Structure 1
């Protein structure tokens, strides 16, 4: 799916399925990332970091997916959407 997301305007994102909160994928400094990157997620989503402060574990309720026109799509939903596009 990731290689096809640009033409369909999908942006890599994450969602906490418990709270419904959606966050775009970002670098640690806050810039949008063009791929799924956990470094810029909210601290409350992070369960564990290594000694270098890299994220090694997220809350179990956090899922990866994409945002398109303000709507969150799971990876499966995004793939199905792209398959239906001409």
Structure 2
């Protein structure tokens, strides 16, 4: 953990700030979090699958590099969102 992170106070929900850093994080931590998680991971998986199909069909080298980077980002986002403890955070309750 960096020195800057060590200086952050911990909130009651175990996060450094006690609030979501993004709108998606807020929605994942809310009462409909599991539904948001399912819809978001489905959308990410669909986009990754469609991008993979384009890559498999053949792209020029420069476009393939861009598509490969985007595909890796979609897979990373899927992994992060699917591991988020959706709906389990308490927000000042």
- After TM superposition, the score normalised by the length of structure 2 is 0.29
- Indicate the structure (1 or 2) with the bigger Cα radius of gyration: 2
Structure with more strand by fraction? 1
Higher helix proportion, which one? 2
